Structure 1
Amino acid sequence: MNRKNILLAAILLPAVMAFAQQYGGMWIPTELNEKEMKDLGMKISAKQIFDPSKPSIKDAVVQFNGGCTAEIISPQGLLLTNHHCGYGQIQKHSSVEHDYLSDGFWAKDMNGELPNPGVTVDFIADIKEVTGSVLAGTQNLDSKAAEALIAKNLETVKAGFKLEPWQKVIIKPVYYGNKYYAYIIETYKDIRLVGAPPSSIGKFGSDTDNWVWPRHTGDFSMFRIYADKNNKPADYSKDNIPYKPKYFLPVSIKDKQENDFTFVFGFPGRTTEYLPAIAVEKVMTETDPAMIAVREVALKTLNEKMRTDAETRIKYASKYAGVANYWKKWIGEVEGLKKSDAVGKKKKYEQTLIAKNPQIKPTIDQLNNLYNEQSPYSLNRSYYSEVTRNAETLSLANQYINFMQSYEAGKMTDQTLTGFKNRLASFYKDYDAELDAKVTAQLLALYAEKTPAKFLPANFAQFKEVNKNSATIENWSKNSVITGRGTFNSATASANIDKVFANPAELIKNLKNDPIIQLASSMKDSYMKTTEGKYAELQDQIDVLQKKFMAQQMETDKDRKFFPDANSTLRVAYGQVKGSNPRDAVYYGYQTHLEGVMEKYVPGDYEFDVPKKLVNIYNTKDYGMYKDKTGDVPVNFTATNHTTGGNSGSPALDAHGNLIGLNFDRQWEGTMSDINFDPRFSRNIMVDTKYILFIVDKYADAKWLLNEMKIVK
């Protein structure tokens, strides 16, 4: 048997697999489910993961630029995160002449590392539960009075922390406001790009493979944290030195086996595991399909030009990836919610709770009524927000509308005006007015078709025909004050913006006569009058009941160990290395290899090209210590860790706390895990550390970086 058949035979899993994990879980690191972690194979203690009094693994894990996760892998502050997390920085350093997106970038030494103004990393120094202090005195108050007292208590609690000058504290609710935790944060502000593979490695498979297994993507990039001479946070300076961490992660290149314990440590963004069945049903049948439809139209239009024009590809690369990411995620989410019978399971669980505690029935009944009443407003909110976000011309118009309102209300200071002009200059740098006129024309037609007339401006039905829209919007765009054709191109934007804003009163007069501004204003006015207020009013009522429902679940179900929903704070998820059986007669192994990269290779393709050097390495089999027992280099692997957005770049660690992978995605069939984690289908996808080091060593010839690391063989 060849290697692929051996692997296939090894993963002929039964249709119903047994899982030791009862639930998923994104656990606060001070409250880990240590017993289950050890039952699954963990060899270290919870204290070794998080200890505020001495170095622990948490000192090597940071939130990267407010959205992703990264980890320190050397005593000189070398930082590892995803390629897609560093993509914006790689793009900013790129040009047609120096196309680091296409060619990759590798500093030859520390002097060649590139600064990234505005990029930050956050360390969590400590976590404290402060529920008692925050909720003090609120027990017998109505929701509005309680909310006001909580806001006052939060300020008092924050003021009570003794902080160093470089520290800050944030307090976040969990369990829908039934508990509160304070996080002591240290922010470092001098972060430099060290290395990134070309997109043909770091983004291999691009949109086709996004959220899909099997994957073969080297989704990693490297940065470095710099500090002042005292190892404290400092703004960028050539005199800064590499940060000396309290702890850094050893990098393991040991082979992986099915059922090996693993855990992921990072900053997951948002989950909603405890919603009632009615809420999940609305997501599955209404709001997700609406958002999918809008983004599908925008992506198709952008893609047609990006594939044929290199300048557009570079200009729109980061934006396109951002739009496509959640478009595809929502598609998988809908499929997974249906396949896992999420609504059915929720309804059954609610009946179980009611049988134990009849007081829960009125709560669920009220939630059902509120969600049904909110449904049309929620659907319009989804369409409106997605249309005005993905039609950049409308998004731009709304920025100018906000400027006009602020200026005429006397709230536009010199500082806010400067900030607004800077944002415009950044926007115009990556904006193609002619291309976006096509996108806007398509999305207006979709909005006109899908939205009841009561939510739309008068005469909006005129936008139902795409061809007519195309001519109209293109004409408006050519003559618009805001689209900036020939005025705000990337080379002259900043200087010309200053000229345009030199006479704000004249500018506002012209803006009010601009048909694009008038269109965006009419859409916004209709949305605000018909939808926003009613949606928010109902959501406030839902939030109060959801808090009550959460408390009732925790009080009633004593057999279940609850974990809080993700909220962009530091969390630990754990599981085991596993393949999957997502549908009848389909079995996936847990590991992919370099051979799979070459099987997908399409020379010159936008998504599946492979650099010639990597092809040569494959042909000569120059794998060194990075091959596994099959003789090939492992690329990606899957496990049952419960992850979500924000976990991108999170370290995947083994039973001993060694780095074994870099989290970057989830398997298509399990993206519903934000709402309904199901161990049968939910898999996170990671870049194998063997592949990361293989690319750094054999492809990039950056051995000086390997010399910094502690490599576990």
Structure 2
Amino acid sequence: MTKKILLSVFLLPAAMAFAQQYGGMWIPTELNEKEMKDLGMKISAKDIFNPQKASIKDAVVQFNGGCTAEIISPKGLVLTNHHCGFGQIQAHSTVENDLLSNGFWAKNMEQELPNPGVTVDFIADIKEVSNQILEGTDNLTEPELSKKINNNIEIYKNTQKIEPYQTISVKSMYYGNKYYAYTIETYKDVRLVGAPPQSIGKFGSDTDNWVWPRHTGDFSMFRIYADKNNKPAEYSKDNIPYVPKHYLPVSVKDKNENDFTFVFGFPGRTTEYLPAIAVEKIMKEIDPARIAVRDVALKTLDERMRADDATRIKYASKYASVANYWKKWIGEVEGLKKSNAVEKKVMYEGSLVSKNPEIKTTLDQLNKLYNDQAPFALNNAYYSEVIRNAETLMLANLYSNYITAVEAGRMDEKGTTAFKNRLTSFYKDYSAELDAKVTAKLLALYANKTAAQFLPAGFDKYKNEAQNIQTIEEISKNSIITGRAAVNGASLSTDVDKAFSNQDKLIKTLKKDPVYQLFTNIKETYMKTADPQFTSIQTKIDALQKTFMAQQMATDKDRKFFPDANSTLRVTYGKVKGSSPRDAVSYDYQTHLAGVIEKYVPGDYEFDVPKKLIDLYNKKDYGLYKDKTGDVPVGFTATNHTTGGNSGSPALDAYGNLVGLNFDRQWEGTMSDINYDPRFSRNIMVDTKYILFIIDKFADSKWLIDEMKVVK
């Protein structure tokens, strides 16, 4: 942090204190109900979350541990994003039957496709359990504090009476100042019902990702199945559609600017209460490092995917995953700068200190720790991203963990089977030749961007990218990890079982493998020169952040606090609204089908449009799905405070009817994970009219709409 900013922390007047804006990510049992009603909500907090009787929460599920989804019919029909179901759509696709390109629509329940391993989680109840979990923790420090809390959590969970199909998860809130227990019910038979072709579901793809105006029909449909008693069960042909306690009526009413909306889902992670110094480090050092690594990986993958359809299908889901946060981080950096996030934090900290001088000591300590950690944090960012995005090295990391577990006696038959299944799934969508090039380029970046103190001896030889490509290709060709060399008479990429037939020989061969040795050299250097220092300082930062959080809550009596997102069920609310993100630029809150046609580029991988959709547009065959303009609305924006994990979340109106499907944020506001700014922060939703229009008119699947309760 600059000297100027450091000095200004304590010179700014208290009058510059944080001004509370509506929004936030609220625990459903602690809703800001008065403000919601002031903004236009017509239902009560009990209608949203009630563990004693049916409420909206019974229609909202966590989809496959990451996204959100919602139930929209009495027969367990589930709506989520296309990008949330993308992995399942891809898994059912082949070059001959490309569901990604062609879409998929079951014409009856018998045609719905099973997805082994996919789950949905319902939240049956939420209770604050801070007193039980924090009992006996006064004056404890790490590692004793964590041990005591973990012990208290286990005691609490073991004393609760739950059904056999339920589990309890205890989550920390406010950096460990409070704890909440979640009773979870997991359903394991989830079948694919329908998905538009990616020319609709991913329309705009990379160019439009995180961008408004948006014209993407980002939705897919699944169905939950249960046993004959409506309880969770593994997949069986004898299972029947799940009957929900509540399902969402689907509204096709027109939307108007300033209409009240709320979004119900499982936001992944936010850090709204960091000190200014932390935000500055993210903006100037950490995010730029992550962006640089992914930029190299994406350009290399894209070049090959454009030239080869088989590679495109193999890498489609992975490419989208890598690109998602790459673009998000770019927007985050720009948004933090544009919204003066660091300066705002500085002002707020100044106002806190004026009310409570003890906070100055906490901030001084945090400033020192973040500056001490900075070189190690930067290396952590580069190292983590290189290992994650160079699949060859990521594979070596998996095998390294496997060997460690075997040698420590922690790898039983069940664990080995699970590991082999994971490998089989991975190699199915892996190109060793392509990733050799990715790895070569990322090693060059790592060698050139990383301080010498963090690099293995002799690592300078990897600074030349062109030379690397030859070197890594040779290493890759002679590696059993890449599947290009054999072990136990088989390739790991084609016959995992045979390759694992002699475990001792496999491990001995792995340890001599050139890819394994390259990875081990990088990892051991990182673990020696950076990780212990990074982790040690982070432990101290975490402890002080807990103190800082408690001090904020105790000092700022005018602010209503909500906990940072941590993948638990939350409610956020706001209004339908357009935006003016830049000088002389204004965006309407609604896009239409006409905009899809305006962006149409025949044959383009991002902006092609199916002929049938063009025909529907030309005929104006819109049915009840047009709005007051005479066109079909496609997407809309609002001021709901969302993040990753809210993908697929229901956007609801003042009465609790489904009006949209959350899928993205406006690029200028992606910094809302760190600094929510109502001037720029907009969530992006697919309009329910467009979803029903595609199902009915495009997919000829009105049987699905007949299941729903459509509010006209």
Letter in 1 for 2:670: T
Shift of 1:496: 2.4
Letter in 2 for 1:89: Q
User: d(CA) in 2 for partners of 1:39 and 1:260?
Assistant: 12
Taking the aligned partners of 1:28 and 1:409, their CA distance within structure 2 comes to 41
1:15 match: none
Match of 1:279 in 2: 278
SS in 2 for 1:663: strand
Give the secondary-structure state (helix, strand or coil) at the position aligned to 2:245: coil
In structure 1, what is the Cα distance between the partners aligned to 2:689 and 2:671? Answer: 29
Distance 1:495 1:398 in 2: 20
**1:487 shift after superposition:** 6.0
Residue 351 of structure 1 is matched in structure 2 by 350
Structural mapping, 1:644-683, within 5 Å: 644-683=643-682
User: Does the aligned pair in 1 maintain the 2:483–2:491 contact within 8 Å?
Assistant: no
- Rounded to whole Å, the distance in 2 between the matches of 1:293 and 1:379 is 12
Query: Is 1:205 matched up with 2:177?
Result: no
Q: Which residue of 1 aligns with 2:448?
A: 449
Distance 2:308 2:52 in 1: 55
Aligned-partner Cα distance in 2 for 1:460–1:494:
29
Distance in 2 (CA, whole Å) between partners of 1:251 and 1:156 is 43
- Cα deviation, residue 420, structure 1: 1.8
Unaligned runs of 5+ in 1: 1-19
| 2-structure distance, mates of 1:23, 1:660 | 20
Of 511-520 and 544-553, more deviation after overlay is shown by 511-520
Cα distance in 2, alignment partners of residues 153 and 282 from structure 1? 35
| 1:104 Cα offset (Å) | 0.2
Alignment of 1:250-399 (within 5 A): 250-399=249-398
- Which residue in the other structure is 1:52 paired with? 51
Q: Secondary structure at the match of 1:355?
A: helix
Which residue in the other structure is 1:11 paired with?
none
**TM-score normalised per structure 2:** 0.96
Per-residue deviation, residues 18-49 of structure 1 (Å, max 9, x unmatched): xx971430000000001111111111111100
Deviation at residue 711 of structure 1 after TM alignment? 0.2
Q: Which moved more, 1:473-482 or 1:29-38?
A: 473-482
Contact 2:492 2:499 in 1 (8 A): no
Displacement of 1:504 after TM fit? 2.5
Report the alpha carbon displacement of residue 531 of structure 1 after superposing the two structures with TM: 1.1
Residues of 2 paired with 1:194 and 1:613: CA distance? 20
Paired residue for 2:633? Answer: 634
1:141-540 pair list within 5 angstroms: 141-485=140-484, 496-540=495-539
Contact 1:643 1:666 in 2 (8 A): yes
Distance in 2 between the 1:503 and 1:119 partners? 32
Q: For the Cα contact (< 8 Å) 2:72–2:708, is it kept in 1? A: yes
C-alpha distance in 2 between matches for 1:626 and 1:566: 35
Following TM superposition, by how much is the alpha carbon of 1:271 offset from its aligned partner in structure 2, in angstroms? 0.3
Shift of 1:495: 6.4
Secondary structure of 1:172's match? strand
The question of whether the paired residues in 2 share the 8 Å contact of 1:23 and 1:678 is answered with no
Pairwise CA distance, 1:442:
0.5
Provide closer, same or farther for how the CA distance between residues 619 and 329 of structure 1 changes in structure 2, counting only shifts above 3 A: same
479-488 or 674-683, which deviates more: 479-488
Question: 2:228 aligns to what SS in structure 1?
Answer: coil
Structure 1 window deviating more from structure 2 (392-401 vs 379-388): it is 392-401
Helix, strand or coil: the match of 1:52? coil
CA distance in 2, matches of 1:153, 1:394: 39
Structure 1 residues 23 and 545, CA gap change in structure 2 (3 angstroms): farther
State the AA in 2 paired with 1:707.
D
- Name which of structure 1's ranges 612-621 and 416-425 shifts more when overlaid on structure 2: 416-425
Change (3 A) 1:359 1:575: same
Q: Structure 2 CA distance, aligned partners of 1:256 and 1:540? A: 48
Amino acid at match of 2:643: T
Partner in structure 2 of residue 704 of structure 1: 703
| C-alpha distance in 1 between matches for 2:647 and 2:586 | 25
Deviations 1:419-465 (A, max 9, x none): 22221111110000111111011000000000011101000010000
**Would the aligned equivalents of 1:264 and 1:573 in 2 still touch at CA under 8 Å?**
yes
Q: Any idea what SS the aligned residue of 1:41 has?
A: coil
Query: Residue 4 of structure 2 corresponds to which residue in structure 1?
Result: none
Secondary structure class of the residue paired with 2:346:
helix
- Separation (CA, whole Å) in 1 of partners of 2:393 and 2:149: 38
1:126-177: CA deviation from partner (whole Å, max 9, x where unpaired) = 1000111111122233343333221221111112211011111111010001
The amino acid that maps onto 2:707 is E
Matches of 1:686 and 1:120 in 2, distance apart? 24
Amino acid at match of 1:583: R
TM-superposed deviation, 1:183: 0.5
Aligned-partner residue type, residue 691 of structure 1 = Y
CA contact (8 A) 2:128 2:179 kept: yes
Q: CA deviation at 1:400?
A: 1.8
Whether the 8 Å contact between 2:479 and 2:485 is mirrored in structure 1 is no
1:557 is aligned with what amino acid? Answer: D
Instruction: Give the structure 1 partner of residue 572 of structure 2.
Output: 573
- For residues 55-75 of structure 1, the C-alpha deviation after alignment (integer angstroms, 9 at most, x for no partner) is 110000000000000000000
1:609 is matched with which residue?
608
Aligned twin of 1:73? 72
Question: Residue 560 of structure 2 corresponds to which residue in structure 1?
Answer: 561
- Deviation (angstroms), 1:202: 0.3
Q: Measure, in 1, the Cα distance between the counterparts of 2:561 and 2:689.
A: 35
**Contact 1:138–1:149 (CA<8 Å) still a contact in 2?**
yes
Once the 2 structures are TM-superposed, how far is the Cα of residue 417 of structure 1 from its aligned partner? 2.0
Distance 2:140 2:112 in 1: 56
Alpha-carbon distance between aligned partners in 2 of 1:77 and 1:559, rounded to the nearest angstrom: 43
- How far has the Cα of 1:518 moved from its partner? 1.1
Change (3 A) 1:386 1:196: same
Aligned equivalents of 2:522, 2:383: Cα separation in 1? 8
Letter in 2 for 1:328: K
SS of residue paired to 2:574 = strand
Preserved CA contact (<8 Å) 1:422 1:494: no
User: Does the Cα contact within 8 Å between 2:491 and 2:499 map onto a contact in 1?
Assistant: no
**Number of residue-to-residue matches in the alignment:** 692
1:686 & 1:117 partners in 2: Cα distance?
A: 29
Cα pair 1:57 1:247 within 8 Å, conserved: yes
Deviations 1:532-570 (A, max 9, x none): 111111111001100000000000000000011001000
Counterparts of 1:341 and 1:84, CA distance in 2: 32
Instruction: Give, in whole Å, the separation in 2 of the partners of 1:610 and 1:159.
Output: 55
- Give, in whole Å, the separation in 1 of the partners of 2:30 and 2:460: 55
Q: What residue is the counterpart of 2:550 in the other structure?
A: 551
Question: How many Å separate the matches in 2 of 1:52 and 1:416?
Answer: 37
- Helix, strand or coil at the partner of 1:30: helix
Change (3 A) 1:471 1:543: same
1: CA distance, partners of 2:266 / 2:344: 28
Q: Determine the structure 1 residue equivalent to 2:587.
A: 588
Secondary structure of residue in 2 paired with 1:619: helix
Specify the alignment match of 1:88 in structure 2: 87
Task: Please tell me whether residue 623 in structure 1 is matched to residue 602 in structure 2.
Answer: no
Check 1:404–1:496 CA distance in 2 against 1; reply closer, same or farther (3 A cut): same
Task: Find the aligned partners of 2:211 and 2:563 in 1 and give their Cα distance.
Answer: 27
Output the CA distance in 2 between the equivalents of 1:599 and 1:84. 23
SS at match of 2:28: coil
Q: CA deviation at 1:486?
A: 7.5
2:317 counterpart SS class: helix
Residues 383-441 of structure 1, C-alpha deviations (whole Å, 9 max, x = no match) = 00000110001111112222233333343322222222221111110000111111011
8 Å contact from structure 1 (residues 652, 686) kept in 2: yes
Is 1:268–1:567's contact at 8 Å kept on the other side of the alignment? yes
Distance 1:509 1:165, change over 3 A: closer
1:593-644: CA deviations, max 9, x gaps?
Answer: 0000000000100100000100110111100100001010000000000000
With over 3 angstroms needed to count, the CA separation of the structure-2 counterparts of 1:480 and 1:147, relative to structure 1, is closer
State the distance in 2 between where 1:397 and 1:662 align: 39
- Give SS of 1:324's match: helix
